[in-house]
Structure 1
């Protein structure tokens, strides 16, 4: 049986916008460890589910899909947004 993780993407720290942070993602956990390829040295494995990432509009849709397909899953809640309000005058206190 496959294990999966359902989570909501956090905001990218390198960008100011919040694009693509409202959807939910289902990622499969790796079934086997990655090994270096003897010819190229790149890390890889025979597990093709590692390349699969499914997107859903809501958490309920992702959970429904996982239960319908018989996938064991864990739900990771979205990180809480923390606003750090600062004023320019605070630099001179």
Structure 2
């Protein structure tokens, strides 16, 4: 059974970094999902696919996986490059603007 350890990306609708510092351990699916022909629902007999464990640090998640004898894969997150403009947001409302304000 393979476990994946990763740090989830922040929601596209959130500007801050809240709840994005945790590390998550989830199990890789062992069997394919099946489609119910009558209702169209998807289902699976794999109970571990519903399990998501949260940890404060990557080391805690790796230690847990090792203590349970799980094969694991750690996905290191990519760091985000900050976009900084020369004047910043306040530059839009400066009284000494040379160009006219267009939106």
Q: What is the TM-score normalised by the length of structure 1?
A: 0.87
Q: Which residue of 2 aligns with 1:15?
A: 14
8 Å contact from structure 1 (residues 4, 72) kept in 2 = yes
The runs of 5 or more residues in structure 1 that have no matched partner are: none
Higher relative contact order (CA 8 A, sep 6+): 1
Find the aligned partners of 1:40 and 1:28 in 2 and give their Cα distance: 27
Shift of 1:81: 1.3
Shift of 1:38: 2.7
Find the aligned partners of 2:37 and 2:10 in 1 and give their Cα distance: 37
Which of 1 and 2 has greater Rg?
A: 2
Shift of 1:60: 0.5
The runs of 5 or more residues in structure 2 that have no matched partner are: 92-98
Q: How many residues align?
A: 90
SS in structure 1 at match of 2:48: helix
8 Å contact from structure 1 (residues 3, 72) kept in 2 = yes
Question: Once superposed, which parts of structure 1, at least 4 consecutive aligned residues long, lie more than 3 Å away?
Answer: none
8 Å contact from structure 1 (residues 10, 79) kept in 2 = no
Q: Which residue of 1 aligns with 2:51?
A: 52
Q: Which residue of 1 aligns with 2:5?
A: 6
Can you list the C-alpha shifts for 1:65-84, whole angstroms capped at 9, x where unaligned? 00000110000002211111
